[in-house]
Amino acid sequence: MVEGAPPETSDDELLLRRRKRAKLGSAIEGLNLTAMMDVMTILLVYLIKQYASAPENIQFAEDLKPPASITSDKLVPGVRVLLSRSAILVDDKLVLSLQDGRPPPDEASGEVSAWAPVGAALGTRRETIQRIADGGGLPFDGSLMVVADEDTPYDVLYSVLYVAGKEQFTTFRLITRRK
């Protein structure tokens, strides 16, 4: 035997030592990447869904100042209609441009008949939600969040709500800002 060399051990002793180390859980030999990717995918889908349906993420333009309120109710997600002094948006997509807070008059008749684009946009949004529900998503509940400027004329607000009612929206929530 050479001085400083480890003592010779048999194969049986080495096998016993390995079994003892395995029982003690001395080291992780490898990571299961498939399970880790599954967890990350689930987290990603959850976060995207939470962010997308967070109604607190309403962006106000310069010409949109909702009335103040002291309500403490939580916002319930729904189709969002923004009525500013210059435009009407449905889920952040421009639907109708306004002039001084009112739709432009129809050139043929001289009357205000410009609510058709709002109805068409709401109808399209309702159909999209119903297709998602048919595929296993949340059902269409007829919920509409209306964010209007505090100086919006009542007849404009009424006309938008009337058109929304014709498109099967039945629950209206008027969004206000905190005092």
Q: What is 76-143 written as a DSSP string? A: ---EEEEE-SSEEEETTEEEEE-BTTBPPPPTTTSS--TTHHHHHHHHHHHHHHHHHHHTTSPPP--E
Residue 112: the pLDDT is 46
Question: What per-residue confidence (pLDDT) applies to 110?
Answer: 45
Crossing angle of helices 154-166 and 116-134, in 10° steps, is: 40
Specify the pairing of strand 79-83 against strand 87-90: antiparallel
CA–CA distance, 138 with 117 (Å, rounded to integer): 26
Which tens digits make up the pLDDT trace of 153-178? 888 888 899 999 999 998 888 877 66
Q: Are 164 and 144 in contact (CB under 8 A)?
A: yes
How many other CB atoms are there within 10 angstroms of residue 27's CB atom? Answer: 7
pLDDT digits (tens, 9 = 90+) for 32-49: 888 889 999 999 888 877
| Spans of all domains in the chain | 11-51, 57-178
SS3 category, 107: coil
Task: Tell me the H-state helices in the chain.
Answer: 11-24, 33-52, 116-134, 154-166
